Each structure stands twice: as C-alpha cells, then as structure tokens.
Amino acid sequence: MGSTSAENHGTEGVGRRDLIKRSAALGLISVPTMSFLSACASSGGDDSGDKAKAGKKTAKNPLAVNDTAGMEFVLFDGGFGKEYAEDAVKIYEKNFPQVKVKFSATQKIQSTLQPRFNQGTPPDLIDNSGAEQMDMGVLVGKNQLTDLTPLLDAPSYDDPDKKVRDTLRPGIVEMGQFDGEKVWILYYAYTVYGVWYSQKALDSLDEQYPETWDQMLAVCAKAKKKGMAGWTYAGKYPYYLPFSLYPMIGKVGGREVLDAIDNLEPNAWKHPAVKACFDAYYELYKKGYVLKGTPGLDHIQSQTAWAEGKALFIPNGSWVENESANVIPDGFDLAVSAPTGLDSSDKMPFGTIWASGGEPFIVPAKAKNAAGGMEQLRIMLSEASSKNFTGKVKSLTAYNGGTDGIALTPGLKSGVAALDKAGENVVNPRLQDWYVQLQKEKIGVSGLGEMMAGRLTPAEAIKKIQAFADETAKDDSIKHYKHQ
C-alpha cells in the first residue's frame, strides 16, 4: 500500500498536517470501514424517542435548536489542533446558556465511533477526518447521514439577508453531494492545490512563473545549468502528481474532460488533452529535469529536498507550508501557482487551479440533536470563527473571505492571490473522494508513478489507467457516482 508510513509522520511530529491530509485531502481510509458500516446500517434499532424536540424558530435561532438539549461534537485531533473548534463551542454555549456541549477530540474517529453507530447513538457533529476516517461513500449509501440543506438554506451567521450557502467558496456545496441535490458533508478547511516554489529561487534565475510548456522547459533548463532540478514530487506517493496534472488537463481540454474521468466514462483517459499533458510531464523525465532519486522519496523527503533548493517546483497542497515549516529556510518566499498550460489553444485561461474542501464535517442521521450539530457549523462558518481558524492554523476555510486584517504567511497569501486570479476557473476533480483505491494505488502508483520513473510511456500509462477505470466502472461492489 505504501500509505501507512505517510500517515505515521503526524504522530512523529514531522509536519503537523500529515495525519489530516494524508486522508482528508487524499482520502486514506482504513480497510475495516466497509464491513463495519454495512453492519451498522442494519443495526442500531429505533431511537427516535430520544431525539431532541425542536426549539422555537427565531431570527437568532433559524434552525429551531432546542435551547435546553445537550449537543455532542467529536473532532479529529490532527494538524489543525482543537482550539478553533473549542472557541466555536464557547459561542454555542453563550448563545444557548442552558446547554453544556460535550466536546472531545480523537485521532481514532472510526474505532471510537463505530460502536456508537452500531448502537444508534452517534454524536451530533463529527469531523470525519484522519487515518481512521469513515468511508463517505458508504455512509451516504447506507443512509447514515443527515442532509445539510437546511443549514445551507439558513440565514448566515453574520448577515440574515444572505444564506449560508451564499457565503461559501466555489465547489464546497458540490463536494458534499454524492447523488442529486442533497448535501451530506460540509468541508470546513479549503485547500489550494498547485505548483509550489520559492519566489526567491525563481528570481535568482531571473525568470517568472512559466505560463506555457515551452516556457516551463526553458525555466527547467536554466535551473539545471545552475545545478538545480526543475521538479521533484512524492515518488512513493505519486498521487500527489494530479494536484497539478489534473487541473492542467482541465485547462487544456476543458472541465468536461475531468468530469468524464470522474464519471468513469469509457475512453475518458484517451482524450487528446490527457495525452498532451502526460506527454508534457514525461518530457520533464526524458530531459532530466526531475530530481534524481525522486521515485524513491516520500512526501517529507521530497519536500525537504525542495526546501533545500535541490528542486524548483513541487506539486502539493496548501498544507505544505505548515508541514514543511521546520525545513523551509528564512527568505524562501513560498509561493504557489496554477499549473502551467500547453499553449494558447488551451480551453481554459492561465490561472485555472484545483481548490477544494478538506476536513469533512457530518451530522449523523441518528443524531439526537441534528439541529444543534448544524447550528454549531453555522457558527463556525461566521467571519469571526473563520478568521480565528485561519489566524491559528495558516489555512483558509470554506467561508469565502475571513482573511481581512490577518497577517498572512507567504504561502497563504500566495494561495489567496492564486484563487483571486482563478476567479470562476476553479476545478475540483472528484476521483480522490469518490474512488480512493483507483486514484491512489492504480492511477497514482501503478500509472503515473511508473510513467514518471520512465518505466511506462505516456501511451502505455494511459492504456493501463483506462483499464483500471473500466474495471472500477464494472465493479458492482463499488458505489458509483456521477457529476449531475
């Protein structure tokens, strides 16, 4: 598998963000999840008698929370810490003075909550993240979750004239949907994926970030002359490559190419845009612009080599700033850019970037106080709570704003600028949360990893990946999802 070593870094204190991101962003899920959820779907009995009665609906209490009912919130205890959630809990308790929230944080989400799902007594709000994340597709498929549409349609915490859904960043609502209109998950953190680099190193080459592939090759050639590789990446976990490769495919061929890939359509991977982008990346390998030994490096080793100036570019997500804080030198001037395109014939403009939610929050279907769980989320999606999170953990939230007046770190500042530049041109490939195994092991390790190590040509990699996608499409034991 190769995943466990990546997960364990968080507990060793190497890069605090690991435990979250190996799974929230990359969808690592422990194996027993399927069977446990199948089991709990059929058990648990009827506990409807225990549910909190609705409270009085008012302008300040639009979800009609019962102001005397208890509320329980279980948070994933990872790289974002728990202070931001504890602060939001205090606001809940202030708004409902007769209530004491039962708050706890754990790294073992599945093993802690599995028995409670079985008994039909889950908490009211869960941050379902980390190495023991419960499989979202299975939770949705087994009707284990509450539809969060009432939260999204409620007035936002700061402005009664704006619905919660109108305050969120692009793609957040869609990410919580699996089939149809219902929204099962609210992703609270917001990750910018792209190509990360040192602005200082780029300046030392007297270059700007390349917008076309010819420019990219020219910059890499210049770097090589100065003894610096153009690229490195997490060779042992090559499912990092899509962080820049997928949005490049979308830029070159249009969003519909990525949608077809997500939908497991026959021959989706054989689209000319896919071939063109695979050829482009393969050229980096062929011309010797990838740091020697990269296929043997894990995410921490590749990030360290990059931070030490051995390579200019690395595909990654915005957690890299926190995760690499102990190796990024002063004056590095961390920056992120949207992927370089091919040329002026690309379907989408330069600036097209992949950005999407992390930290999936859910309200179980059998929660005793579902309205309370949703109200806690409504509080967290206020400007003040969002600012509190961003200020404390160097990451954006799903709330579209919340950065005014905060001293942003270089990476975060660059991420905000990249989002501003992208505007509507934000893509959100869903493979990594719809089909974890396909994305990580098959496309990542067996396809892209082999190609970038020079063991497969682009044509061979595409043929292999298309076969994997077809296999997944035909497998009835896997729940399939489609873009609406």
Distance separating alpha carbons of residues 173 and 51, to the nearest angstrom:
27
C-alpha 338/C-alpha 195 separation (Å) is: 6
Is 313 in the same domain as 450?
A: yes
Quick one: which of 442, 433, 441, 445 has its CA closest to 479?
433
Q: Please indicate, yes or no, if residue 422 is contained in any of the structural domains.
A: no
Q: Is residue 417 domain-resident?
A: no
Residues in a beta bridge with 314 = 196
Does 198 lie in the same domain as 186?
no
pLDDT value at residue 433: 79
Pair of tokens at residue 410: 């270089």
State residue 39's pLDDT score: 37
Strand partners of residue 354: 193, 427
pLDDT band at residue 48 using 50, 70 and 90 as cut-offs:
very low
What DSSP string describes 423-437?
TT-EE---HHHH-HH
| pLDDT given for residue 319 in this prediction | 84
Mark whether 124 and 176 lie in a shared domain: yes
What is the per-residue pLDDT across 16-35, written as a single tens digit (0 to 9) for each? 334 334 333 333 333 333 33
User: What is the band of 140 on the pLDDT scale with cuts at 50, 70, 90?
Assistant: confident
pLDDT band at 478 (very low <50, low <70, confident <90, very high): confident
Q: Residue 479's pLDDT band (boundaries 50, 70, 90)?
A: confident
When pLDDT is averaged across residues 378-394 and rounded to a whole number, the result is 93
Does 248 map to a domain?
yes
Bridge partners (DSSP) listed for residue 195: 315, 337
In a domain? residue 481: no
Quick one: tokens of 372? Answer: 């309370």
Domain annotation covers residue 384: yes
Q: What is the pLDDT of residue 170?
A: 83
Q: Do 80 and 227 sit in the same domain of this protein?
A: no
Domain extent, residue 262, equals 193-354+430-474
Find the mean pLDDT for residues 384-396. Answer: 91
Are 66 and 134 in the same domain?
Answer: yes
Alpha-carbon span 219 to 358, nearest angstrom: 32
Which residue type, as a one-letter code, is found at position 166?
D
143 vs 91, 337, 483, CA distance in Å?
30, 39, 20
Q: In this predicted model, what pLDDT tens digit does every residue of 423-432 receive, in sequence order? A: 999 999 999 8
State whether 344 and 210 are in the same domain. Answer: yes
- Percent of the residues in the chain that have a pLDDT greater than 70, as a whole number: 90
Q: Are residues 145 and 156 in the same domain?
A: yes
Contact 357, 398 (CB under 8 A): yes
| pLDDT value, residue 137 | 76
With a cut of 60, say whether residue 3 has pLDDT above it: no
Per residue in 224-261, pLDDT (tens digit) is 999 999 999 999 999 999 999 999 999 999 999 999 99
Q: In CATH, what number is assigned to the domain containing residue 79?
A: 3.40.190.10
Tens of pLDDT, residue by residue over 319-346, are 888 888 899 999 999 999 999 999 999 9
Confidence of residue 2 (pLDDT cuts 50, 70, 90): very low
Q: 9 falls in which pLDDT band (50, 70, 90)?
A: very low
pLDDT beyond 90 at 142? no
pLDDT in tens, 261-300: 999 999 999 999 999 999 999 999 999 999 999 999 999 9
- Tell me what pLDDT residue 6 has: 35
Q: Does 197 lie in the same domain as 185? A: no
Q: pLDDT averaged over the chain?
A: 88
pLDDT score of 173: 93
- DSSP lists the bridge partners of residue 231 as 290, 313
pLDDT at 15: 36
Residues 185 and 209 in one domain: no
Confidence (pLDDT) at 58: 94
Residue with tokens 């990838």: 290
Which has the closest alpha carbon to 122: 40, 34, 64, 66?
40
Q: What is the pLDDT of residue 115?
A: 84
**470 pLDDT above the threshold of 90:** yes
Are residue 11 and residue 109 in the same domain, yes or no? yes
**Token pair in block for residue 40:** 């709990």
Tens of pLDDT, residue by residue over 155-210, are 999 999 999 999 999 889 989 988 778 999 999 999 999 999 999 999 999 999 99
Residue 344 sits in the same domain as residue 264? yes
Nearest to 444 by CA among 286, 253, 271, 237: 237
With respect to residue 77, please indicate whether it lies within any of the assigned structural domains.
Answer: yes
**In-domain check, residue 480:** no
Looking at the domain assignment, is residue 420 inside a domain? no
- The residue-averaged pLDDT of 382-411 equals 91
Q: What is the mean pLDDT of residues 139-163?
A: 94
In the chain, the number of structural domains is 2
* Rounded distance between C-alpha atoms, residue 93 and residue 388, angstroms: 17
- Does residue 69 sit in the same domain as residue 182? yes
